[in-house]
Amino acid sequence: MGKRKKSGVAERAPAAWSRRLATWVERRSLMLAAAAIVIGTLRIGATYAVFNHTVDEPAHIGCGMEWLSKGTYQLETQHPPLARVFSALGPFLAGERSQGRTDAYQEGAAILYHDLQYERNLTLARVGTLPFFWLACVVVYLAGARWYGKGPAALAVILFTWLPPILAHASLATTDMALTATVGLALYTALVWAEAPTPAHGAAMGLGCALAALAKFSSLLLVPACLGALLAWAVVSERGWAPVRRLATTRHGVSLLAALAAGMVTVWAGYRFSFRGGVPAPELFAGLQYVYHHQTSGHASYLLGERSNSGFWLFYPVALAVKTPLAFLGLAAGGMAIAWRRRGETIWAAPMAFTLAILAVGLYSRINIGTRHVLPIYFGLAMLAAGAAWDWLGHATERKWGPWLAAGLVAWLAASGAVNHPDYLAYFNELAGSQPERILADSDLDWGQDMLRLSARLRELRAPRVTFTPLLSAYLRDYHGFPPIQRSDPRSPAPGWNAVSITAWKVMRLGLTFDHPEIVVWPDRVKKATERVGRGVLLYYFPPSEFR
């Protein structure tokens, strides 16, 4: 009798606490999601004063300022204007204007440092990315609530806001968080339209897709790939063309016209209704041509000790494997397993199809310079991860391990991000070890963000000079207090202090890139740096007596 009682308690206890937890989360889902967004915002804001601007931020600020202060968009059209305008809006409202430089990076730097208001201008520029972080969270919640329920929706938002890659790019005045938010919006509105093809839903879908196109040109591949993958998934799952026939209705056709009209007007408005040579928004087509040339010509990239100008097939799978917290990967893997078992259900098929499609687009890309280029993949993965955690919580009786596994992974995810604050940009999980530069560099590790830390350390050391090849356009000596800087020689270090940007070393070979492959740059020959400054800079000291 006692044994049966003990057995009964063992079976009921997990069910009881997990059921109470699930009920509590569901009743307070909106409050929990809002709290997660607020906490995420505070974590993002706490990074502003720690890190100087990264490589690309000045260019985005400079081009956005041109749009605002001159009413043109010709300085550099490689990226569309939406995120750039938001990045420049804060400095613009504070009185900053274009400075007349012809190079986008130098123009942005001149704006940032104008009137010695660097900290203010950089903070205001970065605040312009927060609306996209909030939008991404809102879309995650709306999608989760619509197809999974309020409890899983809140959990998805919490998991999403705990991801270091999301926090990292939400803290910078760049285009990647805008891409993530607007691609998520485009996919959500497209699914709503497919279920209820009203003209209003069609116009919403057109607006969502247009905003994605105005955020970053890669959305023009990502959104169709995701929707195409979902349709293909449905055709295979139902073993027929019924999913296609359900979309080929008069209602869908009429509402699609509303989508096209809303989308075209929105994109043209994004380019200020420019019209030259009989072409509306000529900057759009110039930008697309620029991106096509960039894709076909490639970009210097680095993976696992190798360099390439045409990219690596495994770049994004490897990058995601080491840049995503292992706990989140475990939850997402559980969601994928459930999605495969229940592949006929749209709520599981959609995030799975979106994840696979974005990864497939990444495999095709010849521009492998950061996980940020596939950042929208976390939209689908957050849904899968939350779905798995919620499923495990709800099956405590059948699977006693489920609630404990879900709770353990969620706690691990929370801790893995918190202990790495504020270094979300250079975050790597446990698989990368103590030298992540053996795997990745560039915007996954060193995007030039540690110049403030390097300046402070050089002052502490009272270094009379430093040999260094900076990665970004910055007033290092005139504003940030660097000692005199001597440019690095790839062949040998200089006497005294030598600072090495990991990206300048691993990707660019201290300026040689792919030239003179017979030369082994000197950091490759030195076994260990004197110290690491932040996450992205190595500091070496060589006594002058060794050079006599």
**pLDDT digit string (tens) for 408-417?**
999 999 999 9
Question: H helices then E strands: how many in the chain?
Answer: 23, 9
- Using a CB cutoff of 8 Å and minimum separation of 24, what contacts does 528-535 make? 529/500, 531/457, 533/450, 533/453, 533/454, 533/457, 533/499, 534/423, 534/426, 534/449, 534/450, 534/453, 534/454, 535/423, 535/425, 535/426, 535/445, 535/446, 535/450
**Listed residues 418, 441, 460: the one ending a domain:** 418
Kindly state whether residues 154 and 295 are assigned to the same domain.
yes
360-390: pLDDT as tens digits: 999 989 999 999 999 999 999 999 999 999 9
88-126: pLDDT as tens digits: 999 999 999 999 999 999 999 999 999 999 999 999 999
Whether the Cβ atoms of residue 219 and residue 79 lie closer than 8 Å to each other: no
Q: What are phi and psi of 445, to 5 degrees?
A: -140, -55
- pLDDT of the residue at 336: 94
Domain assignment of residue 532, yes or no: yes
Those residues whose C-beta lies under 8 Å from the C-beta of residue 270, and which sit 6 or more positions away, are: 80, 81, 82, 210, 214, 281
In what helix (H) or strand (E) does residue 474 lie, and over which residues does it extend?
none
Domain that holds residue 502: 450-547
The pLDDT confidence band at residue 174, using thresholds 50, 70 and 90, is: very high
- pLDDT of the residue at 15: 55
Domain assignment of residue 299, yes or no: yes
Kindly state whether residues 408 and 539 are assigned to the same domain.
no
**Listed residues 418, 435, 467: the one ending a domain:** 418
- pLDDT of the residue at 192: 95
Cα 150 to Cα 437: distance, rounded to the nearest angstrom: 41
Kindly state whether residues 338 and 387 are assigned to the same domain.
yes
Domain assignment of residue 504, yes or no: yes
In sign, the C-alpha dihedral spanning 146, 168, 505, 322 is negative
Kindly state whether residues 241 and 320 are assigned to the same domain.
yes
Kindly state whether residues 379 and 468 are assigned to the same domain.
no
Tell me the C-alpha to C-alpha distance, in Å, between residue 88 and each of 63, 84, 116, 119: 8, 6, 17, 14
Cis peptide before 422 (omega within 30 of 0): yes
Kindly state whether residues 402 and 473 are assigned to the same domain.
no
Kindly state whether residues 221 and 342 are assigned to the same domain.
yes
Kindly state whether residues 187 and 137 are assigned to the same domain.
yes
Q: How many separate domains does the chain show? A: 2
458-497: pLDDT as tens digits: 999 999 999 999 999 899 999 999 999 999 999 999 999 9
- Nearest by Cα to 442 from 426, 423, 422: 426
> Is the confidence at residue 257, as pLDDT, over 60?
yes
In sign, the C-alpha dihedral spanning 171, 175, 179, 181 is positive
Kindly state whether residues 149 and 205 are assigned to the same domain.
yes
- pLDDT of the residue at 3: 40
Domain assignment of residue 12, yes or no: no
Domain assignment of residue 248, yes or no: yes
Domain assignment of residue 50, yes or no: no
Kindly state whether residues 380 and 488 are assigned to the same domain.
no
Structural tokens at position 74: 């010709």
Kindly state whether residues 479 and 335 are assigned to the same domain.
no
307-360: pLDDT as tens digits: 999 999 999 999 999 999 999 999 999 999 998 888 777 778 899 999 999 999
Domain assignment of residue 485, yes or no: yes
Whether the Cβ atoms of residue 441 and residue 20 lie closer than 8 Å to each other: no
Domain assignment of residue 528, yes or no: yes
179-237: pLDDT as tens digits: 999 999 999 999 999 999 999 999 999 999 999 999 999 999 999 999 999 999 888 88
Question: Which range, 384-393, 394-403, 444-453, is most confident?
Answer: 444-453
- pLDDT of the residue at 399: 66
- Nearest by Cα to 475 from 32, 111, 9, 21: 111
**Listed residues 418, 439, 464: the one ending a domain:** 418
Kindly state whether residues 409 and 467 are assigned to the same domain.
no
For the chain, give the mean pLDDT: 93
- Whole-model pTM: value is 0.94
More confident residue, 403 or 62: 62
> Is the confidence at residue 533, as pLDDT, over 60?
yes
